[in-house]
Amino acid sequence: ATTPASSTATPAAGATTPASSTATPAAGATTPASSTATPAAGATTPAVGGASTSTVAVPQPLNCNYRIPAETTHIEQTIVMKWAEKAAEQSFDFDHNTIDNQLASLKSCYTEQGWQGFNDALQKSGNLNAIKSQQLMVSSMVNGESKVIEIKDNQWKVIIPMQVVYQNDKEKLTQPLTVNLVVGRKISGDLGIMQMIAIPRQTATSPTTGAQPTQENTTTPQTHQ
């Protein structure tokens, strides 16, 4: 009976070996624990990245869809100036193939009254018809330093030097303009052009230099006729 007891003791001693081998995985388990800590640190990085993503989403493109809450009472003049420059450039950016869609998008740059004035001038001057019939491409860029003058609360006068190019397959007209804008707030709180007066500068390079426009309208492609 003693022999089975000692043989039982032998497995017990053998059981110690698995126990020590169990201790080895336990030490190994520490390694996964530390590796778990590494993802935890890595998890911090996505969290920071997530925060930066939300921060990046806050600044809006400074264009005619720029949203300003109606309760905002003060707007920096630099924002007004940059917004006005973008709106003015868009007001002189037409493709005869897509001008109707471009005008629909351009409407958001203006107040209701401002848009009526701009659209009327575009129609009555014959400029809209000229762009379509002569298959003109109209492009523009600000080519000088703009100025902003606050007329009263939430209303500004912006003076923008621009260069407008009218071209088709046959000819090209480059016309420097001084664009005078009155910018105000819409009911929604957003900015909008209340009035635009574009005056050709004397340095205009036109095929017919004697044909200086007399009307103070928004676009003047007909001056090259």
Q: Say what the pLDDT of residue 101 is.
A: 96
- Provide the β-strand partners of residue 164: 140, 175
The listed range with the strongest mean pLDDT (50-54, 124-128, 139-143, 206-210) is 139-143
Q: Say what the pLDDT of residue 59 is.
A: 76
Residue 217 one-letter amino acid: N
Give Cβ neighbours of residue 14 (< 8 Å, ≥ 6 apart): none
Phi, psi dihedral angles at 74 (to 5 degrees): -125, 130
Q: Which two tokens stand for residue 34?
A: 């530390």
Report the C-alpha gap between 79 and 10 in whole angstroms: 87
pLDDT at 12 over 80: no
Q: Which two tokens stand for residue 207?
A: 């095929």
Whole-number percent of the chain with pLDDT over 90: 60
Q: Say what the pLDDT of residue 62 is.
A: 86
Contact 211, 223 (CB under 8 A): yes
List the one residue out of 95, 100, 82, 103 whose CA is nearest residue 181.
82
Q: Report the predicted TM-score, pTM, of the whole model to 2 decimal places.
A: 0.65
CATH 3.10.450.230, domain 77-224, yes or no: yes
Phi, psi dihedral angles at 190 (to 5 degrees): -70, 160
State mean pLDDT over 79-93. 97
Domain ranges of the chain: 1-59, 77-224
State mean pLDDT over 128-146. 96
Q: Higher confidence at residue 33 or residue 101?
A: 101
Q: How confident is the model at residue 60 (pLDDT cuts 50, 70, 90)?
A: confident
Q: What is the DSSP string of 75-94?
A: --HHHHHHHHHHHHHHHT-E
Q: How confident is the model at residue 35 (pLDDT cuts 50, 70, 90)?
A: very low
Q: How confident is the model at residue 203 (pLDDT cuts 50, 70, 90)?
A: low
pLDDT at 6 over 70: no
Which of 183-187, 196-200, 203-207 comes out lowest in average pLDDT? Answer: 203-207
Report the C-alpha gap between 71 and 210 in whole angstroms: 50
Q: How many residues would you count in the chain?
A: 225
